[in-house]
């Protein structure tokens, strides 16, 4: 693959993203659904690819017809298919870079109920998925046992995680798992916004939402994904003088160090495993880089917190790097999605999607209020959005439910991520689940996740949920 082809394919992705943003600005449907431009662009690229336009052309004129392979050259699709596995490490490495790690006690007091709810949703996704696999999908539909992990990979992990695990699915003999997970991620993102907005309206009407007024509406600019001229603000801070080095370049260098630290940790764990227990069970041999890149980011940030006295690392700049990596990742992942794999496994796909949606919505409606003492609705809706889509979906719903930050929802959600992200939603548990299922079968992981579910519900309902709002306020303040 020549550098020219790689560069041109990236330029085309940029054009697709620009067209997608124009669609978001002009389409009322896309605005009402708060669809990210990257999702729109991914669908656009998918439709123009061999699975839709190509299939129509072949059906009309045969294999030699114009556009039989879609509008994209095969070389472009080859580049795009490899991008998600690379970009996901950048996304995860930047999760905590530029953000000071809070004091453990304060973060724990505020995030405790939030973490219990998040773990309940995530572990329950494994329990529901593995039960479906054991009772229906494997014995009746002949699916791979790995199908039991797809709800958590697609819903909690999102497009990035599903795409990043592509090589793992392939190595474990279930390549269609990535396409099914990407399809579930798409269902999750769309339903996360649609169901989330519907639940917020329900919460306002019934008085469950404490701060949002019944007539509150998002502005047209927010729906279009734009800032008004008087609202526009800098994308990031210049922390170094451009005469010495470009600020974006130095932040990219910090991200590179974090990813390389994660790579060193992963290779060390793989070497240790090969030397000690690889003959019994192999785990780290199938773990992708991105969860370790996140650990690398945390380690680098700890060093920055201790030794950087000038504030070189800017959080907003890191978010910009994370954002462009995630946008390109989502477009390229959806553009190379195999519709045939989903069509061939549509019953499995439908069962997983319905079961995952029912579980997450049920936990929010029936358990969130019993786990979170203060502002359960505003805080719980963020976890609902994340468990159905991605972190950004959760943040969108928090912003809609609490537009003026009158509750600790955003802060609690952020603190919870410190303990949650390293394990679920693309973390170590997500990465390890697939090889564990492949080598030990689905039942051991089902037992472990069932126990974790019981513990998280017990802590949420029996410990955090018993606190009064006043006690919760006092604990957080003392922390």
Residue 287 lies in a domain: yes
Residues 6+ apart with CB under 8 A from 66: 57
Q: Chain-centre distance of CA 280, in angstroms? A: 32
Residues 6+ apart with CB under 8 A from 258: 93, 94, 97, 293, 296, 297, 299, 300
Residue 356 lies in a domain: no
Q: How far apart are CA 300 and CA 294, in angstroms?
A: 10
Q: How far apart are CA 478 and CA 127, in angstroms?
A: 36
DSSP H or E stretch at residue 140? helix 138-141
The C-alpha torsion from 175 through 153 and 167 to 94, rounded to 10°, is 160
Q: How far apart are CA 453 and CA 465, in angstroms?
A: 16
Q: How many domains does the chain have?
A: 1
Q: What number of other Cβ atoms are within 10 A of residue 252's Cβ? A: 15
Instruction: Report yes or no: 196 and 393 within 8 Å, Cβ to Cβ.
Output: yes
Q: Note the pLDDT of residue 215.
A: 47
pTM of structure:
0.76
List pLDDT tens digits, range 155-183.
988 877 888 888 889 999 999 998 899 88
Residue 36 lies in a domain: no
Q: How far apart are CA 8 and CA 426, in angstroms?
A: 30
Sign, CA torsion 101/165/197/128: negative
SS3 233: coil
Residue 227 lies in a domain: no
Range of the domain at 263: 247-315
Q: How far apart are CA 214 and CA 209, in angstroms?
A: 10
- Hey, what are 129's tokens? 């998925």
Q: How far apart are CA 167 and CA 185, in angstroms?
A: 17
Instruction: Report yes or no: 149 and 123 within 8 Å, Cβ to Cβ.
Output: no
User: Please, what's the largest Cα pairwise distance for the chain?
Assistant: 72
Residue 286 lies in a domain: yes
Instruction: Give the pLDDT of the chain (479 residues) as one tens digit per residue.
Output: 688 999 999 999 999 999 999 999 988 888 877 777 888 898 899 899 888 898 898 888 888 888 888 889 989 999 998 888 788 889 878 878 988 766 666 667 778 898 999 999 999 999 999 999 999 999 999 999 999 999 999 998 887 788 888 888 999 999 999 889 988 988 887 788 788 878 988 888 888 888 766 445 666 777 777 777 777 778 788 888 888 999 999 999 999 999 999 999 999 988 988 888 777 777 777 777 877 888 899 899 999 988 888 889 998 899 899 889 888 988 888 888 777 878 888 899 999 999 999 999 999 999 999 999 888 999 999 899 889 876 667 766 777 788 666 788 877 877 787 678 778 887 788 888 999 999 999 999 999 999 999 999 999 999 888 877 665 565 554 44
Q: How far apart are CA 401 and CA 178, in angstroms?
A: 33
Instruction: Report yes or no: 453 and 127 within 8 Å, Cβ to Cβ.
Output: yes
- Hey, what are 459's tokens? 């802590």
CA distance to 177, 379, 382, 394, per residue, from 399 (Å): 33, 11, 9, 9
Q: How far apart are CA 425 and CA 390, in angstroms?
A: 8
Instruction: Report yes or no: 255 and 90 within 8 Å, Cβ to Cβ.
Output: yes
CA distance to 54, 124, 267, 410, 432, per residue, from 388 (Å): 31, 13, 32, 18, 21
Q: Note the pLDDT of residue 107.
A: 65
Q: How far apart are CA 27 and CA 225, in angstroms?
A: 11
- CB under 8 Å, gap of 24 or more: what pairs does 455-461 form? 456/116, 456/119, 456/120, 456/123, 457/116, 457/120, 457/367, 459/112, 459/116, 460/113, 460/116, 460/117, 460/120, 460/367, 460/370, 460/371, 460/372, 461/367, 461/370, 461/371
- Hey, what are 22's tokens? 């124009």
């Amino acid at each position: 693959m020549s550098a020219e082809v790689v560069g041109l394919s990236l330029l085309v992705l940029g054009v697709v993203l620009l067209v997608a943003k124009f669609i978001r600005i002009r389409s009322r449907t896309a605005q009402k659904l708060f669809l990210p431009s990257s999702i729109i662009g991914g669908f656009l690229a998918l439709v123009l690819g061999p699975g839709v336009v190509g299939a129509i052309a072949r059906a009309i004129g045969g294999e030699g017809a114009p556009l039989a392979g879609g509008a994209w050259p095969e070389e472009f699709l080859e580049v795009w298919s490899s991008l998600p596995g690379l970009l996901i490490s950048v996304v995860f490495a930047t999760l905590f870079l530029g953000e000071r790690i809070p004091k453990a006690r304060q973060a724990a007091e505020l995030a405790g109920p939030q973490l219990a709810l998040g773990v309940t949703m995530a572990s329950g996704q494994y329990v529901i998925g593995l039960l479906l696999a054991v009772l229906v999908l494997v014995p009746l539909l002949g699916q791979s046992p790995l199908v039991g992990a797809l709800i958590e990979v697609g819903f909690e992990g999102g497009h990035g995680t599903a795409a990043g695990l592509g090589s793992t699915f392939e190595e474990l003999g279930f390549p269609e798992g990535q396409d099914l997970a990407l399809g579930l991620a798409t269902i999750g993102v769309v339903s996360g916004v649609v169901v989330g907005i519907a639940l917020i309206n329900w919460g306002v009407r019934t008085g469950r939402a404490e701060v949002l007024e019944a007539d509150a509406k998002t502005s047209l600019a927010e729906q279009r994904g734009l800032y008004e001229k008087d609202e526009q603000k800098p994308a990031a801070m210049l922390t170094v003088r451009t005469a010495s080095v470009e600020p974006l370049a130095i932040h990219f260098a910090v991200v590179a160090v974090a990813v390389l630290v994660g790579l060193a940790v992963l290779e060390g764990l793989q070497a240790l495993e090969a030397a000690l227990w690889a003959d019994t069970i192999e785990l780290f041999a199938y773990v992708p880089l991105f969860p370790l890149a996140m650990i690398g980011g945390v380690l680098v940030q700890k060093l920055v917190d201790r030794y950087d006295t000038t504030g070189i690392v800017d959080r907003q700049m890191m978010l910009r790097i994370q954002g462009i990596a995630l946008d390109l990742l989502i477009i390229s992942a959806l553009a190379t999605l195999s519709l045939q794999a989903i069509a061939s496994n549509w019953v499995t796909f439908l069962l997983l999607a319905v079961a995952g949606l029912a579980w997450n919505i049920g936990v929010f409606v029936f358990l969130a209020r019993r786990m979170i003492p203060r502002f359960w609705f505003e805080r719980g809706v963020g976890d609902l959005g994340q468990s159905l889509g991605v972190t950004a979906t959760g943040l969108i719903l928090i912003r809609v439910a609490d537009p003026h930050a009158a509750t600790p929802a955003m802060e609690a959600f952020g603190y919870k991520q410190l303990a949650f992200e390293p394990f679920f939603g693309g973390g170590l548990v997500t990465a390890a689940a697939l090889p564990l299922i492949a080598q030990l079968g689905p039942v051991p992981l089902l037992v472990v996740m069932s126990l974790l579910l019981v513990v998280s519900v017990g802590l949420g309902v029996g410990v955090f949920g018993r606190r009064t709002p006043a006690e919760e306020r006092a604990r957080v303040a003392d922390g």
